[in-house]
Amino acid sequence: MRTANAAVLALATCLLIAADDPKTNAEKDRGNLQGNWTFVKAEENGVECSLSDEQIKKYSMVINGDSVVYQDRNQTTKSFVVDSTKTPKEIVFTRLQGQEKHIRKMTYSIEGDSLKLKFAGTGQRAGITTVMEYRRDAPKP
């Protein structure tokens, strides 16, 4: 009986450690991001922006593995890495254009079939905070 209790305690301890493992949490979030996402809403500095059908299509995306493909005419592809240990959680997108690497750091939140990405503008858009909201089109692959 004592051995069985010790085994149960050891298993419970391992499960608790695994539940708080940053690598496991990042993999879980990465898995939750998989699928087809339709761009549904944007805000700049808290003010909702009107969206054209072209903008909705341009910023809608498919996430598969560690790649994001935007549904624009160029089928722009980016890789991404999530960091779920930070509060708020962070996602870093990287796009290669020739020899040049473009990196965009954002915060993200996932609630059911809703994804929000938030980022600060740079260059001419400095001082503008943008929130982009997406809806999952279909169940995760």
pLDDT tens sequence for the chain (141 residues): 566 555 544 444 544 444 556 667 788 888 999 999 999 999 999 999 998 988 888 889 999 999 999 887 777 889 999 998 999 999 999 987 777 888 999 999 999 999 999 999 888 888 899 999 999 996 555
Q: Tokens in use for 132?
A: 């982009």
End-to-end alpha-carbon separation of the chain, Å?
A: 44
The reported pTM is 0.77
Q: Domain-by-domain residue ranges, the chain?
A: 23-136
pLDDT for the residue 26? 82
What burial class does residue 57 get, using C-beta atoms within 10 Å of its C-beta: 0-12 exposed, 13-18 middle, 19+ buried? middle
- The pLDDT score that the predictor gives to residue 129 is 94
Q: Could you tell me if 138 and 36 are in contact, meaning their C-beta atoms sit under 8 angstroms apart?
A: yes
What is the dihedral sign for C-alpha 110, 51, 118, 46? negative
By C-alpha distance, which of 132, 128, 52 is closest to 91?
Answer: 132
CATH of domain 23-136: 2.40.128.540
Per-residue pLDDT at 51: 87
Q: Dihedral through CA 120, CA 71, CA 84, CA 26, nearest 10?
A: -160
Check residue 139 and give its pLDDT.
54
- What DSSP character marks residue 118? E
